[in-house]
Amino acid sequence: MIGRINHIGVATPSIEKAVAVYRDMLGATKIGEKFAMPEQGVWVCFVDTPNSQIELIEPYGEKSPIHSFLAKNPQGGQHHICFEVPDIIAARDDMRAKGATVLGTGEPRIGAHGVPIIFVHPKDMGGVLVELMETPKGAH
């Protein structure tokens, strides 16, 4: 049921500085506008690559869930991998049936792409925080 890698999440203390790395070091040219997702406590900016995206995330507000990550990784770093799935509820139920911990309430919320997402705890995923995202309608 695993689908394509939609994006790789990278936490950073400064989206502007992170954008400069992808632009100047790697030659990225398709760089979106930074936007806020206050309910998730993050600023987000997508850098497009030929086959995927890098999702740059910077803390928004005091209660941002990535403050603790940045405390451990002051320069920022790889934060999560997002795979597409055809049906987010089926994917959540499957994860739970296999004993995995779905973060938060477990109810999917709307992510930065406007489709429902969940996060699965890294302890169940070989140490990697995994985001599952319903494949956007009409994509691919």
**Annotated catalytic sites, by residue?**
131
Q: Tell whether residue 134 is a contact of Co ion (CB under 5 A).
A: no
Rounded CA separation 14/56 (Å): 9
Listing DSSP states for 63-87 in one string gives T-TTHHHHHH-TT-EEEEEEEEES-
CB-wise, 70 or 82, nearer to Co ion? 82
Give 96-101 contacts, CB < 8 A, sequence gap 24+: 99/124, 100/124, 100/125
Q: Tell whether residue 131 is a contact of Co ion (CB under 5 A).
A: yes
Rounded CA separation 48/29 (Å): 8
Rounded CA separation 136/48 (Å): 16
Instruction: Tell me if residue 117 falls in helix, strand or coil.
Output: strand
Applying the rule CB under 5 A, the residues between 77 and 106 that interact with Co ion are 82
Choices 1-9, 36-44, 85-93, 119-127; region in contact with Co ion by CB under 5 A:
1-9
Instruction: Tell me if residue 93 falls in helix, strand or coil.
Output: helix
Choices 21-29, 39-47, 76-84, 93-101; region in contact with Co ion by CB under 5 A:
76-84
In the complex, the smallest distance separating the C-beta of residue 38 from Co ion, rounded to whole angstroms, is 16
Chosen residue from 44, 55, 60, 85 binding Co ion by CB under 5 A: 55
In the complex, the smallest distance separating the C-beta of residue 131 from Co ion, rounded to whole angstroms, is 5
CB-wise, 48 or 99, nearer to Co ion? 48
The residues that touch Co ion, with contacts defined as CB under 5 A, are: 9, 55, 82, 131
